Structure 1
Amino acid sequence: MSEREGFFVGDLLTDCYVFEGDGTRPILEENVKVLYEPGLRRVSLPLEVQRWRQAIQAEEERRQAAGEPYRWNNPRFALENIVLSRTDEDEAPVVQLSLCDADYFDFLATSVNLDTPLREGEPATLRTQYLENTDPVTAPAFLSCSFGVNVAVTTGPDRQMVFARRSATVAGHNTERWNSSVNEGLAAIHDVPEDGSPISLHAVARRALREELSVQDEDAVELELLAFALDLRNHQWAAFYRAVLPELTADDLARRRSRGVEDKWEHDQFRFVPADPDSVLDFLLEEGRVWTPCGPALFYLALVREAVLARGGNRSGLLDVEAAERRAMARRASRQTA
């Protein structure tokens, strides 16, 4: 089993480990350092994983040639290391990410095959060999060939929180599960600045908003980085953002999506839920709703941040969310016994 604990929402224990951040204060953009030198290092795959990757590439090429739906490869990154620190003056969080080159087929060969036997007839898997009974935070880079930016979105004028369900078209284990409002994986073709400046996770979050909700660069967005987390089930790292759209309503977003967005195919359902803690927690804990490992934690921390701001910055606002959580649990228990 993993040495890191999952995240509780009510009695729902998720496979999400929050590595840094609790929602009470943002992690400032200038305190996130992304170290990456294009072409300097490429992720190294074990021999067994190389074979899986070759098989994936051959199958996708066959599908493309046959006119069947296929997955395309694109350059990505592997996370070599994540380091936490604090500023000298006020001990604000500082996070440093070290990346090397990888691609989408590397990701498919690892994340999708965590429980596939490494050798026929033997029980050893990537999970048992590299993730169980050890600290997954220190797992080798080849297991971390994807880094996601997940955003919890709230509309400003009508105070609606946005929930999205991933479509069956998306590869991996999170298909047809409810997830963050928008999410994107770091991609070299999109996220490495041409001027040589460092990769910006805030810029990736804005790209996610544009590609999946058609929130344009000129639209006003209040954006805060709340946490870094690790999906323990699929071993995928993520940054958690909260975004408030002060000038856009739920109807505005629905109309924009109806006219087409860049990555519309990635989601098959959206829900707009009143952004108060009771309504959001009822939605998170609704019986039968299937979530990605980190979706509930993201929205919970977004609620905490909103509650702290409502108290004028008092971090005890998280107690207001805990109280709403207890009320949501009581309502669910009442429905189950009715």
Structure 2
Amino acid sequence: MVGRVTGCHLFEGDGTRPIHEDNLRVKYRPQRVEFPEEIGGWRHAIQEEERRKKARGLPYRWNNDRFAVERVVVTRTHLAEDPVVTLTLQDADYFDFLTTSLNLGRKQQNGLTLREQYLEGDDPAHAPAWMNCSFGVNVALETGKDGKMLFSRRSAHVAGPNSSKWNSSANEGLARKHDLPEDGGPVSLHAVARRALFEELAVHSTDRLDLELLGFGLDLDNHQWAGFFRAVLPDLDEETLRLRWTRGVADKWEHDRFEFVPADPDSVLGFLADEPPERWTPCAPTLFYLALVRGAVRRADGDPAARFEVEAAEQRVLEARRP
């Protein structure tokens, strides 16, 4: 991406066509992930440390119910060969995620680190469910009225390895409390994307929204699954959104800076190139690239060859920045 290697493994999607909502099947098995005995001891230590911090009145991480990704399976429809994705989830929580994400470089008794054994020694998409205790929905948002792409920088107050880094316009981790329907219906990633847009950017259900799921990726640096969405607000512009934010946002402290950039490939890729790589979350550049490709294909009435417009823009950006 703009001459850089990122820590994102693109599992499915190239931006030329979406994964239709009817072709996304989310299955939930109410069964908790089980750690190997040694790794379970690491989790217990994290839980006890956070309990001690809380008892002493110190800042601490609070636990919440999440999902673990058991598997992601991609097939194609018979005639149109459209992608069909089946996502199977189990029960997990935030401490489960911390157990692996904070210890990817820690050696086990077998002499291997978790990263060596499960991410580098095999296909990382096939890691066991207890390694996959986080799934995030990431949205690249465009304002249709003035044609701008929104970049959001995560706040330094947000816990985790991605604080103070440029990220997707909005992102939300799947949570059982919010995203598991009480009526027993399936989890909807599109509904999670809409929740992210509302809670972080004050995009309401009454706003017209063009929302497409473009693909799935895996953050190899922190081992987190991600779903990539492109969203366009035909009736809104930068000024309207910024005015809304002054009147209150549900998750006000998620981000500390926003940049609206013209949504053409040269401008978006130029912004990506001008910010140092260490200031980006691993999967954000991939998300915005897919969003650019999808925008180009739609402007070309669905011609997938329009993706080469984005590749040409990338070359222009690189050449303009060569010493």
Return the TM-score normalized by structure 1: 0.92
In structure 2, the partner of 1:137 is 125
185, 188, 202: which one aligns with 1:214: 202
- The reply to whether residue 300 of structure 1 matches residue 289 of structure 2 is yes
On the 8 A contact 1:112/1:173 being kept in 2, the answer is no
Aligned residue in 2 for 1:177:
165
Equivalent residue letter for 2:117: Q
Q: Aligned with 2:193: secondary structure?
A: helix
CA positional deviation for 1:288: 2.4
Which one of the candidate residues 8, 15, 27 is aligned to 2:7? 15
Contact 1:108 1:172 in 2 (8 A): no
Identify unmatched segments of 5+ residues in structure 1: 1-8
Letter in 1 for 2:80: D
1:281 counterpart (250, 254, 269): 269
- Within the candidate set 95, 99, 103, 1:105 is matched to 95
Q: Does residue 305 of structure 2 align to residue 313 of structure 1?
A: no
Alpha-carbon distance change, 293 to 47 in structure 1, aligned in 2, over 3 angstroms: same
SS in 2 for 1:207: helix
User: Do the aligned residues in 2 keep the contact of 1:161 with 1:274 (CA within 8 Å)?
Assistant: yes
Paired position in structure 2 for 1:323 = 312
Segments of 5+ residues of structure 2 without an aligned counterpart are none
Identity of aligned residues (%): 60
Quick check: 56-65 or 237-246, which moved more?
56-65
* Contact 2:2/2:272 (8 A) holds in 1: no
Among 62, 69, 83, the alignment partner of 1:72 is 62
Distance in 1 (CA, whole Å) between partners of 2:49 and 2:241 is 37
Give a deviation string over 1:221-254, Cα, whole Å, max 9, x none: 1000001111122221111000001111112222
Q: 1:43 to 1:216 in 2, by over 3 A?
A: same
Deviates more, 1:170-179 or 1:134-143: 170-179
Query: How many aligned positions are there?
Result: 322
Q: Distance in 1 between matches of 2:11 and 2:132?
A: 15
On the 8 A contact 1:112/1:172 being kept in 2, the answer is no
Measured against aligned partners, the alpha-carbon deviations of 1:162-188 in whole angstroms (never above 9, x if no partner) come to 001112222322222111001111100
The equivalent position to 1:82 in structure 2, one of 59, 72, 82, is 72
- Who is 2:234 aligned against? 246
The CA distance in 2 between the partners of 1:313 and 1:58, in whole Å, is 54
Alpha-carbon distance in structure 2 between the residues aligned to 1:331 and 1:176: 27
**Shift in Å at residue 321 of structure 1?**
0.5
Report 1:119-138 matches (<5 A).
Answer: 119=109, 123-138=111-126
1:37-76 mapped onto 2 (5 Å cutoff):
37=29, 40-76=30-66
Q: Distance in 1 between matches of 2:39 and 2:239?
A: 46
Q: CA deviation at 1:108?
A: 0.8
The alignment status of 1:268 with 2:256, answered yes or no, reads yes
Q: CA deviation at 1:70?
A: 2.2
How far did residue 287 of structure 1 move? Answer: 4.7
Equivalent position of 2:19 in the other structure: 27
Any idea what SS the aligned residue of 1:79 has?
strand
CA contact (8 A) 1:14 1:294 kept: yes
Q: Deviations over 1:171-219 (max 9, x none)?
A: 3222221110011111000001112111100000001101110111121
Aligned-pair Cα RMSD in Å: 1.4
Pick from 180, 185, 188 the counterpart of residue 197 of structure 1. Answer: 185
